Amino acid sequence: MPRAKPAKFTPQEEALLQKLREREAALKIEKRNLQSKANRRAKKADTYCKVLVGAAVTYEAENNPAYKAALVKLLTRFFTTNPQRAALEILGVPPLPAEPVAAGQPDTAADGSAEFPAVAAQGYGDGVRMVRH
């Protein structure tokens, strides 16, 4: 059985359809704006949380030498580029050595431990990349 041709709309129906299309477009824009606002709010909350955690960790490192030593060890292994290391110099994180570790060699600390594997060894390339929500 052949398909019937789509019905033609009356001028009133065409006008109503046009109004509905315009309303749909306006709702899409409104939805996008709401999502954007919620994303900005979530990013602000995430950043504020990181600032608070950083403040607590920094305070503890300034008042507890054993904690500071462990923190410097972790940061030294975790941050693998000179710009990252330069930003953390205030905490005592040393710059990268002049000669990089040859490819294929395990990344170990000066004491020979592999307690905190380097980020680059985990496949993240040349440093840390933050995930955005």
pLDDT tens readout for residues 49-64: 999 999 999 999 999 9
Instruction: Take residue 21 and report the two structure tokens written for it.
Output: 């299309």
Enclosing H/E stretch for 28:
helix 11-63
The distance of Cα 44 from the centroid of its chain, to the nearest Å, equals 13
* Every domain of the chain and the residues it spans: 11-63, 65-100+107-133
Cα separation values, 89 from 45, 62, 86, 105, 109, Å: 27, 14, 5, 26, 18
**Separation of alpha carbons 94 and 76, rounded Å:** 7
**Separation of alpha carbons 87 and 84, rounded Å:** 5
Q: How many CB atoms lie within 10 A of CB 76?
A: 21
pLDDT for res 99: 66
pTM of this prediction?
Answer: 0.56
pLDDT for res 87: 86
Could you report the per-residue pLDDT of 80-121, keeping only the tens digit for each? 898 988 888 888 888 888 765 555 555 555 544 444 444 443
Q: How many CB atoms lie within 10 A of CB 110?
A: 8
96 DSSP 8-state letter: P
**Separation of alpha carbons 94 and 108, rounded Å:** 15
